[in-house]
């Protein structure tokens, strides 16, 4: 895998706070509140946002607030800190303002920079525009006696140009004339991307942009960066936020923007394996999670029914009823069900595979059994899955993420142990090493 050059190998959450709010006694109020977040409410990456979240007239004050709050509270903050500066591919004035803010914020005499991990640059264009930003980082580092490349650079992908630039990163990183190895997060910004692409929908809802998210994830994979999805505006729609994260995870985009501490909790939790396993049933085209009742996995809806008959069963799916023997029914149900493994299950399987490998076996069958109840009728099924090296490696992704979280976020240990139990946590920290 492409070398990763930063402390965190995974970032689940990217949480922005306005740097200066007008009309408050303390314009840094939101920053102070965010600086106090701990545990699952605290993001992996906290972004004091001196761009869109802060009014243009307040941004100089915002830069000052960043210095004040971070120098005071930065040492205790459990995540990384990456303030967002102003920048625009089409405006030298904005770019110069962003540079000046960076220069001011990182003055070592002021005590903030030692807690700052990097900066976020929005509205980047093609790769040459990324280089302009990188050059300002280098000058800032040089002026302040910091190591070249020590400040990470994250970018917001919110133009077609920037999307294309992600395809050039590998070729450009490592050239002697830049320090682009400082690149850390590639973050989609779908609102401005939609504007840049001149896209529109009847209701004004954002398009889903699946290709952009794929390309961002691929760009991150190819350049050793981390892909993060943009904000999910409807903060009351927790289910929608989870669906979006599940979709993103299947693309390799494991991080997402969070707008509230509530969203941070959801997004910190979503990529972690569940505490308990569960069975899914394809009920005539709709995927349903079965209710686990006293060791039985039950479906009580009316899209599917199952009745015993003489010599077999009648299985009805939607309008289609079929007579099946015992074996045929089991075969059919194996096709209709799938199992979502818990953390415990994953660790079990990995340990079992590691032992088998030790013993010289390259592939083993793992079995998952259950008693299903559809309507009132029960039937036992057992699902086999072959595990080989590739299965093992793929299962490693959520475990590596967990290990990265556990190592870097001691403030979440208690909640993680509450969730999984100390024994599972301990074993999860041992597998795959």
CB of 316 to a copy of itself, least distance (A): 12
Query: Which parts of 352-381 interact with a copy of itself (CB under 8 A)?
Result: 360, 362
Which member of 60, 284, 388, 404 is catalytic? 388
Which span sits near a copy of itself by CB under 8 A: 40-48, 69-77, 200-208, 418-426?
Answer: 200-208
- Does residue number 254 form part of the binding site for a copy of itself (CB under 8 A)? yes
Nearest-approach distance from CB 355 to a copy of itself, in angstroms: 17
Of 55-74, binders to a copy of itself (CB under 8 A) are 55
Is 126 a residue that touches a copy of itself (CB under 8 A)? Answer: yes
Choices 33-41, 198-206, 309-317, 406-414; region in contact with a copy of itself by CB under 8 A? 198-206
Instruction: State the nearest-atom distance from the C-beta of 199 to a copy of itself, in Å.
Output: 4
Nearer to a copy of itself, 29 or 303 (CB): 303
Sheet of strand 45-49, all strands in order from the earlier edge strand to the far edge: 80-81, 45-49, 13-18, 255-258, 226-229, 183-188, 152-157, 118-121
Q: For residue 215, state whether it binds a copy of itself (rule: CB under 8 A).
A: yes
In the complex, what is the shortest distance from the CB of residue 256 to a copy of itself, in angstroms, rounded to a whole number?
Answer: 14
Nearer to a copy of itself, 9 or 417 (CB): 9
154 binds a copy of itself (CB under 8 A): no
- Write down the least CB distance from residue 402 to a copy of itself, Å: 11
* Per rule CB under 8 A, count of chain residues that contact a copy of itself: 77
Residues 336-355 within binding reach of a copy of itself (CB under 8 A): 338-341
Query: Binding segment for a copy of itself among 65-73, 187-195, 259-267, 409-417 (CB under 8 A)?
Result: 187-195
Confirm whether 388 is a catalytic residue: yes
Residues 94-113 binding a copy of itself (CB under 8 A) are: none
* Window 301 to 330, contacts with a copy of itself (CB under 8 A): 301-303, 319
Supply the minimum distance, in Å, between the C-beta of residue 297 and a copy of itself. 14
In the complex with a copy of itself, which residue's Cβ is closer, 111 or 432?
432
Q: Which residues are catalytic?
A: 388
């Amino acid at each position: 895998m492409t070398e990763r050059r930063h402390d965190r190998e995974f970032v689940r959450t990217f949480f922005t706070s306005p740097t200066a709010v007008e009309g408050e006694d303390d314009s840094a109020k939101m920053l102070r509140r965010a600086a106090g977040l701990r545990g699952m409410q605290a993001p992996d990456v906290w972004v004091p946002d001196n761009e869109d979240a802060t009014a243009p007239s307040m941004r100089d004050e915002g830069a000052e607030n960043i210095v004040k709050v971070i120098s005071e509270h930065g040492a205790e903050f459990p995540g990384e800190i990456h303030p967002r500066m102003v920048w625009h591919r089409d405006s030298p004035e904005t770019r110069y303002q962003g540079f000046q803010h960076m220069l001011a914020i990182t003055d070592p005499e002021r005590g903030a920079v030692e807690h700052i991990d990097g900066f976020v640059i929005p509205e980047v264009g093609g790769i040459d525009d990324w280089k302009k930003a990188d050059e300002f980082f280098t000058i800032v580092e040089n002026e302040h006696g910091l190591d070249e490349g020590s400040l990470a650079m994250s970018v917001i992908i919110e133009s077609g140009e920037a999307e294309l630039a992600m395809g050039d990163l590998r070729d450009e990183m490592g050239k002697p004339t830049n320090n682009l190895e400082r690149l850390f997060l590639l973050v989609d910004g779908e609102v401005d991307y939609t504007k840049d692409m001149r896209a529109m929908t009847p209701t004004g809802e954002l398009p889903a942009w699946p290709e952009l998210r794929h390309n961002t994830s691929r760009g991150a994979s190819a350049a050793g960066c981390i892909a993060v999805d943009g904000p999910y505006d409807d903060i009351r729609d927790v289910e929608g936020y989870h669906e979006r994260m599940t979709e993103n995870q299947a693309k390799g985009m494991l991080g997402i923007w969070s707008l509230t501490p509530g969203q941070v909790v959801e997004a910190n939790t979503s990529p972690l394996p569940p505490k308990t396993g569960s069975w899914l049933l394809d009920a005539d085209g709709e995927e349903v999670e079965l209710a686990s009742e006293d060791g039985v996995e039950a479906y009580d809806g009316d899209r599917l029914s199952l009745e015993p008959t003489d010599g077999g069963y009648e299985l009805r799916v939607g309008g289609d009823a079929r007579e099946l023997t015992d074996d045929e029914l089991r075969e059919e149900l194996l096709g209709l069900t799938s199992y979502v493994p818990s953390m415990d299950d994953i660790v079990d399987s990995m340990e079992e595979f590691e032992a088998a490998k030790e013993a010289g076996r390259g592939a083993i069958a793992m079995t998952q059994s259950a008693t299903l109840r559809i309507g009132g009728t029960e039937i036992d099924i057992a699902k086999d899955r072959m595990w080989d090296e590739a299965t093992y490696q793929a299962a490693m992704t959520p475990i590596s993420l967990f290990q990265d979280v556990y190592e870097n976020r001691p403030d979440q240990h208690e909640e993680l142990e509450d969730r999984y139990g100390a024994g599972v946590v301990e074993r999860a920290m041992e597998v795959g090493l």
